[in-house]
């Protein structure tokens, strides 16, 4: 649902925004008035997004990302350990396959 809401808001803004600015400029109110008018839908969009964020904090059945804790710190720790393995010469299966491809090209 979040993706659909995002796409709907994006598409409606992409159509309505330039049309609204065109009308305001046609009526010769100027760019300052056009941008001031665009502030209204921008604030409404922010209100909708913030309301959805606080009302639906985590959908039912959603699993946390990044190793069970669901926070950015555990994700960063996973990245650090992968980087440490790479620096020490240990490669993952993907890294080995990529190394194999490179060695074939050099032959």
* Residue burial 36-66, b: 16+ Cβ < 10 Å; e: rest: eebeeeeeeeeeeeeeeeeeeeeeeeeeeee
Query: Does residue 65 sit within a domain?
Result: no
Whether residues 7 and 40 fall in one domain: yes
Whether residues 80 and 51 fall in one domain: no
Q: Quick check: 34 and 42 in contact, CB under 8 A?
A: no
Whether residues 33 and 77 fall in one domain: no
At 32, is the pLDDT very low, low, confident or very high (cuts 50, 70, 90)? very high
User: How confident is the model at residue 90, as a pLDDT?
Assistant: 62
Query: Does residue 64 sit within a domain?
Result: no
DSSP letters spanning 34-103? HHHHHHHHHHHHHHHHHHHHHH-SS-TTPPPSTTTT-SHHHHHHHHHHHHHHHHTT---HHHHHHHHHHH
Which is more confidently placed, 40 or 83? Answer: 40
Q: How many residues does the chain have?
A: 107
d(CA 60, CA 69): 17
Query: Does residue 94 sit within a domain?
Result: yes
User: How confident is the model at residue 13, as a pLDDT?
Assistant: 85
* pTM for the full predicted model: 0.45
pLDDT, tens only, 41-99:
889 889 988 898 888 776 677 666 655 555 566 666 666 666 676 666 665 555 555 55
Which is more confidently placed, 37 or 80? Answer: 37
Which is more confidently placed, 101 or 25? Answer: 25
Query: Does residue 84 sit within a domain?
Result: yes
- The range of the structural domain enclosing residue 37 comes to 2-55
């Amino acid at each position: 649902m979040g993706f659909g809401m995002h796409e709907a808001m994006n598409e409606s803004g992409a159509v309505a925004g330039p049309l609204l600015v065109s009308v305001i400029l046609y009526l010769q109110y100027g760019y300052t008035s056009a941008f001031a008018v665009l502030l209204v839908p921008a604030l409404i969009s922010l209100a909708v997004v913030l309301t959805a964020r606080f009302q639906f904090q985590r959908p039912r059945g959603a699993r946390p990302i990044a190793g069970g804790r669901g926070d950015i710190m555990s994700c960063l720790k996973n990245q650090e350990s992968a980087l440490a393995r790479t620096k020490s010469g240990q490669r993952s299966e993907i890294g080995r396959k990529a190394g194999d491809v490179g060695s074939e090209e050099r032959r």
